[in-house]
C-alpha cells in the first residue's frame, strides 16, 4: 500500500523533472549551444546526486509548515501538487513546484484541523519575492563582469564559442545538483513522517537514511521526467521570454544555480552561523522563479528590449494560480478519499491540558489562571485548541506554542513485543540505545515529551546538544521512529 500511495510522489517528481529541467538547461538548448539529449542526460544524473547527498536541508523547513501524518493524506497532497504542475506544464509554463506543494499542504492542514505555521509560511512566501529578485541582481553582476573580462582578454570567436558551450554544461550540472538538493523536499517531503524505510548500511561503506532512500526514489522520478517530457518547457524558457545570446544563456543558468545552492546548502548555513553572520533560510525555493528572474535581469540590462511581456505575464499568472489550485484540489480530494473511499487521510491528534502537561507548563513559569475551564477538556485538533488559547489574556505567542507542544496527546507504551521487532547496528538504533528503551518496558506515556524526558534521564545520548544541528536532527529522526513504533490508541 505504501508503494501505491508513493506513486503520487513519483508523479510529482516526474512533473518537476518535466517542468524544472528547463530552468537548468532551457537557455542552453534554446540558444542552440547544447543538444537536448545531452542536456537531459546530464541534468538527470546531477539531480539524483543533489537529491541524495544534499536534499535534507530544505525538507526540514517544509516539514514545519505541516506534518502530514497519514500515508493516504501524503498521497493526496503530492497528487494535488503534481496535478497543478502537470496542468501548467501542458500549457508550456515554467511554474513553481514549491508553490504547488505549499498550497497542497495548506489544503491538508485546513481539512485535518492542523495548525499552519504562519511564521514558516511567511519565510517561504518571502523567498518567492527574494528568489527572482536575487537571481536578477546576480545575473546583472555576472553579465557585466563576464563582458568586461571577454573584452579585455580578446578571445577569438571559435574559442569563445567552445568555452561557452562547456561552461553551459558545467553550470547546468551545478544547477541540476542544486535543483535536486533544493526541490527534492517538494517531491518527497510529505512522505518523510510516514516513511516505512529504516536506515541501512550499504556493504559497510556508507549509510543511507530512510529519508535518503525516499530522496533517491524521488530523484529517479525527476530524472525520468527530464528525459521524457521536458522539451516543450525548455523551449518556452530558452526562447519564449526573450532571445538570449550564448553568453547571456551562460549567465542566466549560473545565476539560477547560485540562488538554488544558497537556499539549499547546510554547509553554507553552518559557516555563516559559525562566523556570526546572517544565515540564509533553507527553504525549497522555485527554480522557475530563479531562472525567470535571471532572464529579466539580462533584459533589464538591455532596457527591456526583446522581453516578451505577454509571455512573462502568463508565467506570472501561473505562479499566482498554481498554489490556489493545489490547495483546492487537495482539500476536495481529501474529502472524497476519506468519505467516499473510506481511507484514513489523517491521524486525529487531540489536545488536553492534563495534570502532567499542567505541571510542565507551570515549571516553565507560564500562568494559566484564566484557563480553568480548559483544564482536563479534550480538544479534537490543534486548530480548536489554539483557538481556545487565543481567548486567554496575557499569553505570549511563544508561551502558546509551548502549551500546544505540552498538551498534544500521543499515547505510547513500551512493550516486550514491540521491543523485539527493533534491530540495531545497521538499523536506525544502536544496541546501547535499545537497552535504554528496554529499561522503560511496561511504561505508558500520554505525551511525546514524556518519553523524551524519560530517555534523556537514562543517557546523555538522548539529549539534544546546543549548536549541534546535525546531531539534533538525527536525534529527532530517531525519536520519530520511536513514536511510530510504540504508539497505540486508547479508544
To the nearest 10 degrees (0 to 180), the angle between helices 246-262 and 2-30 is 150
**Residue 207: which pLDDT band, with cuts at 50, 70 and 90?**
confident
| Interval 55-78 mean pLDDT | 81
In the prediction, which pLDDT does 424 show?
53
Q: Residue 464: what pLDDT?
A: 92
**Mean pLDDT of the region 188-202:** 77
Q: Model confidence over 385-408: pLDDT tens digits?
A: 999 998 888 888 899 999 999 999
- Segment 94-106 mean pLDDT: 86
Report, in this order, helix, strand and coil percent for the chain, each rounded to 5: 70, 5, 25
Angle 328-334-340 (CA atoms, 0-180°, nearest 5)? 125
- Tell me the pLDDT tens digit for each residue of 458-483: 999 899 998 787 788 778 878 888 99
SS3 117: coil
Whole-angstrom CA distances from 203 to 1, 200, 217 are 28, 9, 20
pLDDT-derived band of residue 267, with 50, 70 and 90 as boundaries? Answer: confident
For residues 14 and 62, the model is more confident at 14
Summarize the confidence of residues 56-64 as an average pLDDT.
Answer: 68
Is the predicted pLDDT of residue 79 greater than 90, yes or no?
A: yes
Return the SS3 of 42. Answer: helix
pLDDT at 60 over 80: no
pLDDT digits 0-9 by tens, 370-381: 887 888 899 999
Give the distance, in angstroms, between the CA of residue 245 and the centroid of all CA atoms in the same chain. 34
Residue with the bigger pLDDT between 216 and 94: it is 216
The pLDDT tens digits for 294-332 are: 888 988 887 767 677 777 787 778 888 889 999 999 999
Q: How confident is the model at residue 58 (pLDDT cuts 50, 70, 90)?
A: low
Query: pTM of the full predicted structure?
Result: 0.83
Indicate the range of 27-31, 48-52, 263-267, 280-284 predicted with least confidence: 27-31
Task: Give 444-461 pLDDT, tens digit per residue.
Answer: 999 999 999 999 999 998
Contacts of 235 (CB under 8 A, 6+ apart): 22, 26, 29, 30, 92
What pLDDT is stored for residue 425 in this prediction?
A: 47
Amino acid at each position: 500500500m505504501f508503494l501505491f500511495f508513493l506513486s503520487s510522489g513519483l508523479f510529482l517528481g516526474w512533473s518537476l523533472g518535466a517542468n524544472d529541467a528547463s530552468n537548468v538547461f532551457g537557455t542552453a538548448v534554446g540558444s542552440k549551444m547544447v543538444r537536448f539529449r545531452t542536456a537531459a542526460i546530464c541534468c538527470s544524473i546531477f539531480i539524483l546526486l543533489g537529491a541524495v547527498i544534499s536534499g535534507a536541508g530544505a525538507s526540514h523547513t517544509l516539514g514545519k509548515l505541516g506534518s502530514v501524518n497519514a500515508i493516504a493524506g501524503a498521497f493526496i497532497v503530492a497528487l494535488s501538487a503534481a496535478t497543478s504542475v502537470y496542468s501548467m506544464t501542458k500549457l508550456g509554463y515554467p511554474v513553481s513546484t514549491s508553490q504547488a506543494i505549499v498550497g497542497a499542504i495548506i489544503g491538508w492542514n485546513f481539512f485535518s484541523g492542523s495548525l499552519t505555521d504562519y511564521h514558516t509560511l511567511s519565510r517561504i512566501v518571502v523567498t518567492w519575492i527574494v528568489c527572482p529578485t536575487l537571481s536578477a541582481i546576480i545575473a546583472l553582476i555576472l553579465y557585466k563582469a563576464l563582458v568586461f573580462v571577454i573584452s579585455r582578454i580578446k578571445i577569438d570567436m571559435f574559442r569563445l564559442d567552445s568555452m561557452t558551450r562547456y561552461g553551459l554544461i558545467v553550470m547546468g550540472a551545478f544547477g541540476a545538483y542544486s535543483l535536486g538538493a533544493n526541490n527534492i523536499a517538494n517531491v518527497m517531503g510529505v512522505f518523510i513522517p510516514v516513511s516505512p524505510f529504516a536506515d541501512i548500511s550499504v556493504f559497510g561503506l556508507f549509510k543511507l537514511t530512510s529519508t535518503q532512500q525516499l530522496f533517491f526514489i524521488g530523484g529517479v522520478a525527476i530524472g525520468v521526467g527530464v528525459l521524457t517530457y521536458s522539451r516543450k518547457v525548455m523551449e518556452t524558457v530558452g526562447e519564449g521570454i526573450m532571445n538570449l545570446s550564448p553568453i547571456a544563456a551562460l549567465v542566466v543558468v549560473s545565476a539560477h544555480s547560485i540562488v538554488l545552492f544558497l537556499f539549499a546548502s547546510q554547509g553554507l548555513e553552518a559557516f555563516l552561523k559559525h562566523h556570526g553572520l546572517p544565515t540564509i533560510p533553507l527553504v525549497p525555493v522555485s527554480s522557475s522563479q530563479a531562472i525567470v528572474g535571471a532572464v529579466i535581469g539580462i533584459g533589464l540590462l538591455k532596457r527591456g528590449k526583446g522581453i516578451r511581456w505577454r509571455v512573462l505575464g502568463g508565467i506570472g499568472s501561473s505562479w499566482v494560480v498554481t498554489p490556489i489550485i493545489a490547495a483546492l484540489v487537495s482539500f476536495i480530494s481529501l474529502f472524497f478519499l476519506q468519505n467516499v473511499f473510506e481511507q484514513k487521510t489523517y491521524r486525529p491528534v487531540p489536545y488536553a491540558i492534563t495534570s502532567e502537561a499542567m505541571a510542565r507548563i507551570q515549571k516553565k513559569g507560564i500562568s494559566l489562571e484564566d484557563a480553568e475551564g480548559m483544564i482536563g477538556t479534550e480538544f479534537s485538533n490543534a486548530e480548536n485548541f489554539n483557538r481556545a488559547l487565543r481567548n486567554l489574556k496575557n499569553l505570549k505567542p511563544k508561551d502558546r506554542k509551548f502549551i500546544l507542544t505540552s498538551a498534544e496527546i500521543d499515547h505510547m507504551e513500551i512493550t516486550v513485543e514491540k521491543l523485539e521487532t527493533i534491530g540495531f547496528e545497521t538499523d536506525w538504533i544502536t544496541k546501547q540505545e535499545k537497552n535504554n528503551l528496554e529499561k522503560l518496558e511496561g511504561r505508558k506515556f500520554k505525551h511525546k515529551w514524556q518519553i523524551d524526558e524519560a530517555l534523556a534521564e537514562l543517557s546523555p545520548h538522548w539529549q539534544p546538544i546546543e549548536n549541534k544541528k546535525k546531531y539534533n536532527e538525527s536525534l529527532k529522526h530517531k525519536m520519530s521512529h520511536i513514536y511510530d513504533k510504540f504508539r497505540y490508541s486508547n479508544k
